[in-house]
Structure 1
């Protein structure tokens, strides 16, 4: 049995969460450590699981499919069949593997599975992740209203908002000629749109359209699954015990020739002045995250970062941005510190420190 750690943040309704399990290698571990928290139906094989699911109605269908990767990898074929079934295509699917294989992880990401664990893993971490996936599935259709459900909300101080409008307005006017030149160069450099617009999660889990100058190939998003496995600076440890929340690609091959310069000079960030003027972000704060990263930071310890303002620059940018020794934990701790300690004086200090930090040493 793997030693558990205390994670009681969302245990009150676990017994109501139904899990359909398939496999024998981890069956005893899952039964001993998780049966007390979830309603689990154990099946010895993929075929047994599929037969069980075929007998379920809309009232009895499980919330989660927890399946071991089998020798013939029929588990992936099962996922494809379930996604074609109207009753089953919305199920949460998590896989467990006994062997370390990057190809399996990449395939799981390409199929957009909800998670993939490689043994050894901590059952308490798995339990907390399953809890969150169920909760996130319920709130995902209304993420824009999620800020109303947290215990603590962030309200932009009037002084900070006025400072944002003044700085962003002046910068936008002064840098408009530069932005026009950059837009023309992007068009000449490669095919595709001038701006890259993505969904980001900011203050209080608010989702908004995030603007940047395009610095990557147009197929960059499609290549992310492979890059996140092979090139992620925050990648999992070799034993598979640690899962990375952030994705940070070293020497990213998706970046265009012009894009490399735009990133190293931070010129690709200039369109975010529009986000600041709109009120989506502040000049100083924690960087808004892509949804796939934000959903990994859900424990009480790390969700604190979302209770502070989202920003164009912050403590991460002026402290260790671009340095190889910048760990995932260090970055999250900096975000939490700012969310708890931000002030007008700290903002001014960060703004002053941002200028020398613009030109980073490492291409990330």
Structure 2
């Protein structure tokens, strides 16, 4: 429906007001200054969407089969370490719909409680977290978890999200509710695009890229995504993972 969604029988124009709602996300960003930035990117062609979905399903099945021995080994290692194998956390997907993203657990149990204690006791860590929503030297990450993150193996369970249609192999990095505000006027571009396991931002520096550039990259992808761009990003992802650039 272009720039609107249905909610209890009513259509809400996502670009008409400040403090508008998309899906279950409350948007308090300033009203865009043009119709184009309010509505987000133009809808992708049916051909592109069909090809992309076929790539997602076939790619997820192939990757799941290829990495099945690794998945078994990681599962056993995490079981022996104690605690849960998978970690799930709410992310905001296309059209503002929340979903649970899956990863192999890379942190200690009760990581959220540990984080709050760290932020309360260390002003520098608190500033870093507010700026990046990440800690470069996060003490909550286990030894196995650090290896999983460096190699991006912690993201293998997201193949489940791809098969469920919540994510794509290629797209913007899925964000939390608290991160949505950082997108400002570009938020509609993010919300019109299915998040991905990898994407243009992920192969352009990953965690070494600041948030302003990340938002610009996500918008660029949302406006210009093509099948050829997606294939190129997938190929570049292999080089980035092997080089472990920007991963922590």
TM-score for the superposition, normalised by structure 2: 0.77
Specify the SS of the correspondent of 2:87. Answer: strand
Alignment partner for residue 354 of structure 1, among 225, 234, 237? Answer: 237
**Residue number in structure 1 paired with 2:104:** 213
CA distance in structure 2 between the aligned counterparts of 1:227 and 1:298, rounded to whole angstroms: 26
Larger Rg: 1
**Aligned ranges 1:29-40 → 2 under 5 Å:** none
CA distance in structure 1 between the aligned counterparts of 2:206 and 2:183, rounded to whole angstroms: 23
| Deviation at residue 151 of structure 1 after TM alignment | 4.7
Structure 2 CA distance for partners of 1:318 and 1:361, relative to 1, 3 Å: closer
**Residue number in structure 1 paired with 2:151:** 265
Specify the SS of the correspondent of 2:201. Answer: helix
Q: Deviations over 1:91-147 (max 9, x none)?
A: xxxxxxxxxxxxxxxxxxxxxxxxxxxxxxxxxxxxxxxxx4xx56xx8xx728x9x
**Residue number in structure 2 paired with 1:184:** 76
Query: Does the 8 Å contact 1:232/1:250 carry over to 2?
Result: no
Larger relative contact order (CA 8 Å, sep ≥ 6): 2
CA distance in structure 1 between the aligned counterparts of 2:225 and 2:245, rounded to whole angstroms: 27
Say whether residues 1:195 and 2:78 are aligned partners.
no
| Deviation at residue 230 of structure 1 after TM alignment | 3.4
CA distance in structure 2 between the aligned counterparts of 1:204 and 1:249, rounded to whole angstroms: 29
**Residue number in structure 1 paired with 2:133:** 247
**Aligned ranges 1:155-170 → 2 under 5 Å:** 157-170=49-62
Question: For the aligned residues, what is the CA RMSD?
Answer: 2.9
Structure 2 CA distance for partners of 1:335 and 1:216, relative to 1, 3 Å: same
Q: How many residues align?
A: 216
Query: Does the 8 Å contact 1:187/1:193 carry over to 2?
Result: yes
Structure 2 CA distance for partners of 1:261 and 1:292, relative to 1, 3 Å: same
Which structure has more helix as a fraction of its residues? Answer: 2
Q: Which runs of 5+ in 1 are unaligned?
A: 1-7, 12-131, 237-243
**Aligned ranges 1:1-364 → 2 under 5 Å:** 10=17, 132=19, 143=24, 151=39, 157-189=49-81, 191-225=82-116, 230-231=124-125, 244=131, 246-294=132-180, 296-297=181-182, 299-323=184-208, 326-358=209-241, 359-361=243-245, 364=248
Query: Does the 8 Å contact 1:160/1:344 carry over to 2?
Result: yes
Runs of 4+ in 1 over 6 A off after TM superposition: none
| Deviation at residue 302 of structure 1 after TM alignment | 3.6
| Deviation at residue 212 of structure 1 after TM alignment | 0.4
Query: Does the 8 Å contact 1:297/1:303 carry over to 2?
Result: no
Q: Which runs of 5+ in 2 are unaligned?
A: 1-14, 28-37
Specify the SS of the correspondent of 1:283. Answer: strand
| Deviation at residue 203 of structure 1 after TM alignment | 1.3
